Structure 1
Amino acid sequence: MRIEYWLLLSAYPIGMAILFFIPKNKIRLAVVAFLFTQLITFLLGLVVVELGLLQYPVRFFASINRASFTYEYFFLPVICALFNARYPSNRSTLIQCGYYIGYTSILTISEILFEKYTDLIKYINWEWYITWVTVCLTFYLTRILSLWFFSKGKVL
């Protein structure tokens, strides 16, 4: 089996282990963030692939979907769920911005390494900074939608 398939398979136990870092009192928030992230990545992921900006040469469900099921429908939503559950809302704006920058940068660096050394992703008309911006916007939009969902009628 190719190394790419091992990497794809390893994302599932790693993602499941990450879920144990979500505090029990934030599970509902994490589930909502997970589902909102799936919605966002479903729409944007398919558009990006269909426009020929990215390609996923090695992926699960290749005959059904040209996007990366593992990343866009599982791993990124799990990370976003953790992001929202652990978000430092009572801290300074600088800490909150650093939180966005840290999560987004780690995911972007990982993608750059996967693009360079594996066949999991190939940039066609895409650059790393586009990934950084889109992941950061996904985190931000998911955060806003999750807060709205639990706002009890208050306008943000």
Structure 2
Amino acid sequence: MWINYVILVAMWLLGFIGLFLIIPRKNRRKGFLAFLMFQAIIWLCDMPAFTYGLLTAPVRELPKATDLPLTIDYFFYPVLFSIYYVNKRIKGSLWYRFTYFFIWITVITLFDIVLERYTDLLEYGILTWYGMWIYIGFLFYVSQVSCNWFFKDKTLFQAERCESS
């Protein structure tokens, strides 16, 4: 039982290390927006998934408050997405971008499978491992499209000059 809490603490430590050491200082704003965007999207998708039994989390940080695993869903996976989003190549070939996406989704799904199989942090209800792969891929894709849409217009970050007449 204590191993579950050790894993949760390790996720928090690795998450903070990832946020501040892997994401370059010049890209932190982009990384934090990606973090928040992924949190919003995973919240919308995980509420029904946990409510209808697709996933369960027997060991949680706040068991009487919510059925959702807060560390996994609202900190660790968003950190992984922000690292992914900041470090992806925009001008790479389509094959490279697909491979990069595929590898990230596969590694995160493998981590998720290990959590499900060897801990009480996650349990798959109706979902299988390939359903989880599709689910995580969907979350990453929608979050990436949303972040790309937000960062598309560079004038959003430039101060407007007021001309007095």
Could you tell me the TM-score, scaled by structure 2's length? 0.89
Q: Report sequence identity in percent.
A: 29
CA distance in 2, matches of 1:133, 1:97: 14
Gaps of 5+ in 2: 156-165
CA distance in 2, matches of 1:153, 1:84: 17
- The equivalent of 2:14 in structure 1 is 14
The Cα RMSD (Å) is 1.4
User: Residues 42-121 of structure 1 correspond to what in structure 2 (within 5 A)?
Assistant: 42-121=43-122
Q: CA deviation at 1:48?
A: 0.3
What residue identity is the alignment partner of 1:91? G
What residue identity is the alignment partner of 1:13? L
CA distance in 1, matches of 2:51, 2:111: 23
Q: CA deviation at 1:55?
A: 0.8
What residue identity is the alignment partner of 1:85? V
CA distance in 1, matches of 2:38, 2:64: 23
Runs of 4+, deviation exceeding 3 Å? none
CA distance in 1, matches of 2:100, 2:14: 21
- The equivalent of 1:147 in structure 2 is 148
Could you tell me the TM-score, scaled by structure 1's length? 0.94
Q: How many residues align?
A: 154
CA distance in 1, matches of 2:57, 2:51: 11
